[in-house]
Structure formats: structure tokens, C-alpha cells
């Protein structure tokens, strides 16, 4: 059973109250400053001011994260702001080591051997002569020293070519290899947004579950999401049996929905 501490509070203030080095895992997605229409938060600050604010809250995360902890930071871009994820991660380079860069793939089309094209997932189409439909976001894996061990096979996949199992000694005879850094996780199909997903910028529960599993379920005692939204990270913590979860959110309607979803 997960013990939840979900707070209606600015995360910078809230995180300052927590004990240094007390968090194993942070999974979060901050406002991207790309003009998303939240009900309370204004998502249009000047870029320099926004990056300064990110450094302020990220410094609080750095204080709380254990030396062997993991901080998974989800951010996307927009055609008008293609450099935003890179600017953000550069701003944080004095605080963390970028241990892995993961691409969260929301939609993909694959040409099969028989020339059939298979498409999976959802994306927002862009009506443009210049820009491609945006089908991915970043998930930066930030750590204190770049040496955090991972449970790579917890997200492992079977080998396509089974002869590899015997060929490579590191498999120890198991039909399981590291999935790599492209994670295909589509949004769930919904009928009524205001009821089923009443928030303009969420990630799927599964994205946070995969972060927990990759860090190692048994090594996650306390998990934090400073920008809780409607609580997809909290639901993931519950699904994985994380003992303690702390979240902050400044919008009471989103927080209420997060509390409702964890029952």
C-alpha cells in the first residue's frame, strides 16, 4: 500500500520542507512555457525568466535526490520552440549528470517485410508545409553522478534473432535484452476529455511506471512529483507498490482529480 502526501502548494516552497537526500525517484513534467492553457498557471513567461525558475525548482530536486537516485524529466518541444528541451537540460548541467536520453514515442508507422505499413498510437496533426507532425517527447534521465544502477531487463524485450541468446554470454541464457531508449507508449483512447483526462498536458501512467521499473521497483522507497497535475505519477506509484509518494500541485481542481484517481 502506498502512503500519499499530495499537497496543494508551490513545489519550490514544499520541497524546501523535505529532508535532504530523502528521495529515491523523481518523475515529473513541468509546465513547458509553450502557451498551454492550464486553468490556473500562466504558461507564457519570458524564456530567460522561465529557465531561471526551472533552475530554482531543479536545485530543490537536486538537494532531495539520493546519490544513487533517478530524476526522470519529461519535456516536449513545439515547432516554434524546437530548442526548448535542449536549453532546459543545458540549464541544469551544473546540478545533474545526463545519464540517459529517452525518446517517448507517442505514434509510429513501421513498414513490415510484406510492404504493409502499420501505424500505432495518437498524435496531434500539424497543418504545415514546413513542420512534421510531432510524435515524440524527451525523457531526460538525470542523476547526481551519472552512476545510478538501472534494472534494464525489467523493461527488457525478447530477442528477435534467438541465436543471440547463445552467442552473447551476458544474456546468461535468458531471452531478454535491454529495450533501449525509444519507448513507444501511446495515450489511451478516450471518449470525453473533460471527464476522463481533465488536464491539457498529461503523460500516460505507463510512462511513470516504466521509470519506476527501470530504476528498480525494490529500490524506490520514496517517490516525488513536484508538478503532479492529475496524478498519473501517483497512480503509477500505487500500481507498482511504491511505499511513499509525495506530490505538489498549485491547482486545486487538478489536485482533487489526482486524489480521486488514487481512490
Ligand X SMILES: C[S@@+](CC[C@H](N)C(=O)[O-])C[C@H]1O[C@@H](n2cnc3c(N)ncnc32)[C@H](O)[C@@H]1O
Instruction: Return residues touching ligand X (CB under 6 A).
Output: 10-11, 29-31, 38, 40-41, 199, 201-203, 226-227, 229-230, 232, 248-251, 254
Of residues 36 and 108, the one with the C-beta less far from ligand X: 36
Contact, 102 vs 181, CB < 8 A?
A: yes
56 or 101, CB closer to ligand X? 56
Residue whose CB is less far from ligand X, 204 or 216: 204
- Which residue, 97 or 201, has its beta carbon nearer to ligand X? 201
Q: How many separate helices (H) and strands (E) can be counted in the chain?
A: 8, 10
Give me the count of residues in the chain. 263
In whole angstroms, the minimum distance from the beta carbon of 171 to ligand X comes to 35
Residue closer to ligand X by CB (options 222, 232) is 232
CB of 72 to ligand X, least distance (A): 11
In a 3-state reduction of DSSP, which class is residue 167? helix
Smaller CB separation from ligand X, 15 or 177: 15
Contacts of 146 (CB under 8 A, 6+ apart): 97, 98, 99
Q: What nine digits make up the cell of 231?
A: 496524478
Give the nearest distance from C-beta 208 to ligand X in angstroms.
8
Cβ of residue 207: shortest distance to ligand X, in angstroms? Answer: 8
CB of 55 to ligand X, least distance (A): 14
Closest approach, Cβ 203 to ligand X, in A, equals: 5
Element (H, E) at 24: strand 23-28
Closest by CA position to 193, among listed 37, 59, 68: 37
Which strand (E) or helix (H) includes residue 229? none
d(CA 217, CA 14): 25
C-alpha span between 255 and 258 (Å, rounded): 5
Amino acid at each position: 500500500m502506498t502512503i500519499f502526501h499530495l499537497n496543494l502548494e508551490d513545489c519550490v516552497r514544499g520541497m524546501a520542507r523535505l529532508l535532504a537526500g530523502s528521495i529515491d525517484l523523481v518523475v515529473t513534467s513541468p509546465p513547458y512555457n509553450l502557451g498551454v492553457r492550464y486553468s490556473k498557471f500562466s504558461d507564457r513567461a519570458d524564456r530567460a525568466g522561465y529557465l531561471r525558475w526551472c533552475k530554482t525548482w531543479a536545485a530543490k530536486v537536486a538537494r532531495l535526490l539520493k546519490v544513487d537516485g533517478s530524476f526522470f524529466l519529461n519535456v516536449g518541444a513545439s515547432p516554434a520552440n524546437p530548442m526548448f528541451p535542449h536549453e532546459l537540460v543545458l540549464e541544469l548541467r551544473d546540478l545533474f549528470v545526463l545519464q540517459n536520453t529517452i525518446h517517448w514515442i507517442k505514434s509510429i508507422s513501421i513498414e513490415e517485410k510484406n510492404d504493409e505499413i502499420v501505424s500505432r498510437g495518437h498524435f496531434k496533426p500539424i497543418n504545415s508545409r514546413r513542420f512534421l507532425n510531432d510524435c515524440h517527447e524527451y525523457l531526460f534521465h538525470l542523476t547526481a553522478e551519472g552512476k545510478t544502477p538501472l534494472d534494464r531487463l525489467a523493461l527488457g524485450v525478447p530477442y528477435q534473432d534467438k541465436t543471440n541468446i547463445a552467442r552473447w554470454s551476458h544474456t546468461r541464457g535468458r531471452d531478454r535484452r535491454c529495450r533501449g531508449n525509444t519507448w513507444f507508449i501511446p495515450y489511451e483512447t478516450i471518449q470525453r476529455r473533460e471527464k476522463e483526462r481533465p488536464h491539457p498536458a498529461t503523460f500516460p501512467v505507463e510512462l511513470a511506471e516504466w521509470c519506476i521499473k527501470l530504476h528498480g521497483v525494490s529500490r524506490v522507497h520514496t517517490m516525488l512529483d513536484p508538478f503532479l497535475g492529475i496524478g498519473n505519477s501517483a497512480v503509477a506509484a500505487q500500481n507498482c507498490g511504491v511505499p511513499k509518494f509525495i506530490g505538489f500541485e498549485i491547482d486545486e481542481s487538478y489536485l482533487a482529480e489526482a486524489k480521486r484517481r488514487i481512490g
